[in-house]
Chains A and B, each alone.
Chain A
Amino acid sequence: MYPYIPHTPEDEREMLDAIGLKSSSELFSDIPEDVALNRDLNLKPSMSELEVKSYLNNLAAKNCSTSKMTCFLGAGAYDHYIPSIIDHIISRSEFYTSYTPYQPEISQGTLQYLFEYQTLICNLTGMDVANASLYDGGTAIAEAALMAASVARKDEIIISKTVNPQARRILKTYAHNQGFTIKEVEMKDGITDLEELESMVSDDTGAVIVQSPNFFGIIEDLEATSQITHKAKKAAVIASVDPISLGILKKPADLGVDIVVGEGQGMGIPLSFGGPYLGFIAVKKNYMRKLPGRIVGQTEDVDGKRSFVLTLTAREQHIRREKATSNICSNQGLNTLAATVYMVTLGKEGLREVALQSTKKAHYAFEKLIESGKYKPVFDKPFFKEFAIKSDIDADKIIADLRKEDIIGGYHLGIDYPQLNNSILYAVTEKRTKEEIDKLSSVLEGI
């Protein structure tokens, strides 16, 4: 017997009799002999819960987690504090064992938190409409770009080199398959070269993509980017933002941005070795009917009671098939709930304070690390919670030496930007203490 399979031999016998079969193997008599697998799978035999747990405990123990080491690594995934309440709420099995809310009468829980999530994302970004989430920040950029280009009926997309390199690779993959042209704008002093952008934008441009704070943590001039982009007819500005930064930075909508996307991992979702995370997308009203993915709307039931349903489904694959706006079917459901609980629990004051503390601690760390002159700033521009410093010492050696002191060092920018060889990007969240930052500094000084 297996813990998740309830049939007793008597059950099996009765059920086979009802079907009119002699044995369970006859259930597969429709699989032709030359296709059937007439041997056991080459896998381990089944195990007890105790054995499985012990095996996986051993694997997990081979990793060095952020609870055992001090994390100064970011580059798209951040070690922000996760309030206890979040895991308790997302562990309610009425939430996590349900599926896409196709039957609204018994899915009001899911539908309502998605509606609340959409509202919170709109309030944070200043945009008109948000969907119920996309896979992650990187694919959200790609989906936004394809949507913008298709609305503008143009096939050229411009992206800044200060956008996360990983996201740029995803965009290239998607764009290549749809026949879109991707052009990259150079950077200047760690931000998008707006003069070059201006020379590149033309009536062929469907979208301009920037990230702020950008991959180096620097705040980009979204307003100027929007003004340049909008000189081209119908071209959209797509901004990828860190939602935590919106605790202190101006709303993208107030800066002329048409489509806001981003990675929501920082809002209550564990690092979990890179996923699952949360992609968000929010748009100006004119893109509403072109959005990819699920959208929840408010309505009334037959008794006039406020209720929520999946809506604007005429965009989606299960209705439109090959004419759908995207092939996306799932959303990040449970992670959307985590982010929702994060935003409401921190609330008006809390999110601002997380952003302020992250900024202040990052700047303290920046000043501390460059104090002696051994390490130098790579850029001289206003930044949020990440900054780059360089030295003559090999970056891999620095990161290896930090690891010996139980510090997870920053990200070596030379991996993606050869001109930034031996520059390291450090991230500092509200979780880091002065003591930890001082230790990072003293270890670095000793290398």
Chain B
Amino acid sequence: MRDYNKLIFELSKPGRKGYRLPPLDVEDKDISEYIPEEFINENELDLPEVTEVEVIRHYTNLSNKNYGLDTGFYPLGSCTMKYNPKINEDTSRLDGFANLHPLQREDCIQGSLQLMYELQESLCEIAGMDQMTLQPAAGAHGELTAIMVIKAYHEKNGDTQRDKIIVPDSAHGTNPATAVMAGYKIIEVKSTENGLVDVEALKAVVGDDTAGLMLTNPNTLGLFEKDIKEIAKIVHDAGGQLYYDGANANAILGHARPGDMGFDAVHFNIHKTFSTPHGGGGPGSGPVGVKEHLAEFLPVPVVAKDNQRYYLNYDYPNSIGKVKDFYGHFGILVRAYTYILTMGKDGLKKASEMAVLNANYLLSQLKDDYNLPIDGLYKHEFVLGGLKGDLLEATTLDVAKRLLDFGFHPPTVYFPLIIREALMIEPTETETKETLDAFAEALKTIAKESKEDIEMLKTAPHNTVVRRPDETKAARNPVLRYEG
């Protein structure tokens, strides 16, 4: 089955059907009685003709060519690939949740509103924030929402000269892209050689044109920004706002809160920290929490409670407006709340502790064979700088590709940009010591191979269903659809 290499279109045969509708039970007039012919497509649809059995076999075979968390270890740095509990899948499919129209009357949707309200409250407590919107569709969308909220705050204060957002050079690519999308210019601030925000450099760039600072803590290197209070003071004294990118929140649950660090706005990646599936790229969810002074700008509606009644509150005259259809990725939010209930205050704290333990343990096993540009205590992830020694021939890409042969998903590679040959490793708390040991062993074997049999790395992977697809060709001569 590994060699299965058909597209669904290549299975099509005229006359086959994979569906059946009940017979039409109202009068069967010709469509032209209802819709003028000028609007009607007279041609056949260009869709395949296949039976249900073929569809099932086809996609089952495709699934076999995929590697998921349930297949094995997935230490993709900054993505928090923790186990996706199965109960979450069941609760999100409960009839009352899955088959509910978003525009139904308030008395028909009390269960969903209550869930959203309780989730808002829980996330506010975890973040140390005062109000929360569940509307943003994903992490990057949460970033955008938060920055737009900050912009609305400055606009209301008449501070329209604040046209710059500061981001560290270690930031995720979404940070600068988001700030530009919200209409800002970017100032990049360098990191120190210890991988932290350079406080002196920050002082030099803030001013009355500073709208805010976007920061992850722990940062993308996995290091805690210990000067966070001072950083917050510098930005606040200049009149700017602090935004917390929650990509790395899995490191600090129940141990520290962005709100206590001085941040004014926060987004969480529900699909990272709160165990919802990554789904091959989505759907995610990116709730945003803010301190009281920013609450009036949140997108509408916000879920509110009045005695025992839950309702959608649109009464936010200074709201930035809407950022997405309806109220957010509700199905994902059900999964996240299921997780929070399952773990509770004690379990969430333990999860972060074990995530940090796993990262530091794995690091201790790899130090001898891989460069560690910055030594110290890491949080939930760490960044290696490629193989040790002068064997520049064996790159991080080779290491990643060779890891596939050992049955592991490789770490994030070549990010953050400030580390040469970066391998960004985030094991998460759901992995056993045995798995970490096996992964470390594989990386050590690869290190050995790099000295003894470099070709083994250069030609890797050897036993995957395809081997190093030609990405240059794909970009130069784009084939973006099947043309028969």
Contacts and interface: CB of A to CB of B under 8 A. Distances in A.
Given A64-B100, A138-B325, 5 more contacts: A2-B347, A62-B110, A327-B180, A349-B17, A351-B45
Given A98-B66, A298-B479, A403-B108, A172 B377 contact: no
Interface in B19-55: 19, 21-22, 24-29, 31, 34-36, 39-41, 44-50, 52, 55
Interface centre among A35, A298, A364, by most chain B C-beta atoms within 10 angstroms, is A35
B176 A322 contact: yes
Interface stretch (A187-195, A197-205, A248-256): A248-256
Given A61-B96, A61-B111, A333-B280, A352 B140 contact: no
Contacts of A332: 279, 281-283
Given A63-B100, A103-B404, A124-B45, A15 B55 contact: no
Contact of A311 (B52, B112, B148, B474): B474
Interface string A332-351: 11111100010111111111
A122 B93 CA distance: 31
A301 B93 CA distance: 39
Contacts of A129: 480-481
Contacts of A305: 5, 466-467
Contacts of B19: 83, 345-347, 350
B478 to A, nearest CB: 5
B31 to A, nearest CB: 6
A249 B41 contact: yes
A271 B100 contact: yes
B102 A330 contact: no
Contacts of B108: 63-64, 69, 403, 408
A430 B313 CA distance: 34
Nearest to B14: A348
Interface in B445-482: 459, 461, 464-471, 473-475, 478-482
A99 interface: yes
A32 B325 contact: no
Contact of A347 (B27, B28, B47, B85): B47
11 contacts: A59-B112, A104-B466, A130-B480, A132-B281, A176-B321, A177-B148, A276-B282, A300-B473, A309-B469, A323-B180, A360-B28
Interface string B375-395: 011010000000000000000
A108 interface: yes
B173 A324 contact: yes
B79 A62 contact: no
Contacts of B148: 173, 177
A302 B469 CA distance: 6
A211 interface: no
A380 interface: no
Nearest to B407: A106
A298 B280 CA distance: 18
B70 A116 contact: no
A64 B326 contact: no
B431 interface: yes
Contacts of A135: 137-138, 141, 283, 324
A116 B321 CA distance: 35
Interface stretch (B198-206, B235-243, B287-295, B356-364): B356-364
Nearest to B471: A309
A263 B360 CA distance: 44
Contact of A139 (B44, B137, B364): B137
Nearest to A122: B481
Interface of chain B, main secondary structure: loop
Contact of A63 (B97, B348, B482): B97
Contacts of A14: 433
B191 interface: no
B330 interface: yes
B158 interface: no
A197 B138 CA distance: 35
A431 to B, nearest CB: 9
A288 B478 contact: yes
B365 A18 contact: yes
A327 B109 CA distance: 33
Contacts of B361: 15, 18-19
Size bracket, chain A contacts? 35 or more
A248 B410 contact: no
A306 interface: yes
Contacts of B60: 89, 92
A217 to B, nearest CB: 11
A289 to B, nearest CB: 9
B260 interface: yes
Contact of B96 (A29, A63, A75, A146): A63
Nearest to A305: B466
A392 interface: no
A403 to B, nearest CB: 6
Contact of A327 (B87, B144, B471, B473): B144
A45 B345 contact: yes
Given A136-B324, A273-B330, A98 B68 contact: yes
Contacts of A124: 45-47
A5 B151 contact: no
Interface stretch (A163-171, A225-233, A369-377, A439-447): A163-171
A43 B260 contact: no
Q: Which 6 A-B pairs have the closest CB atoms?
A: A274-B326, A60-B96, A274-B102, A46-B344, A62-B111, A109-B66
A91 to B, nearest CB: 7
Contact of A331 (B62, B67, B281): B281
Contacts of A435: 25
A333 B279 contact: yes
A213 B207 CA distance: 50
Interface string B270-288: 0100010111111111000
B324 A139 contact: yes
A87 B109 CA distance: 24
Contact of B55 (A309, A314, A345): A345
Nearest to A66: B99
A320 B95 CA distance: 43
A113 B62 contact: yes
Contacts of B261: 35
A249 B39 contact: yes
Interface in A302-328: 302-303, 305-309, 311-314, 316-324, 326-328
A185 B323 CA distance: 22
Contacts of A174: 181, 323
A311 B334 CA distance: 33
Contact of B41 (A97, A250, A337): A250
Contact of A130 (B24, B466, B481): B481
A124 B43 CA distance: 12
A265 to B, nearest CB: 9
B343 interface: yes
A97 B474 CA distance: 26
B163 to A, nearest CB: 11
Interface string A358-385: 0111011000000000000000001010
B59 A341 contact: yes
Interface in A366-417: 382, 384, 399-400, 403, 408, 411
A73 B109 CA distance: 14
Given A99-B281, A104-B466, A112 B183 contact: no
A300 to B, nearest CB: 6
B277 A97 contact: yes
Interface string A63-96: 1111111010101110101010101110111111
Interface string B81-92: 111110101111
A181 interface: no
Contact of B281 (A100, A321, A351): A100
A95 B384 CA distance: 29
**Which has the most chain A C-beta neighbours within 10 Å: B256, B329, B364?**
B329
Given A100-B280, A275-B327, A330-B284, A177 B17 contact: no
Interface in A3-62: 3-7, 11-12, 14-16, 18-21, 24, 27-32, 34-37, 40-47, 49, 52-53, 55-62
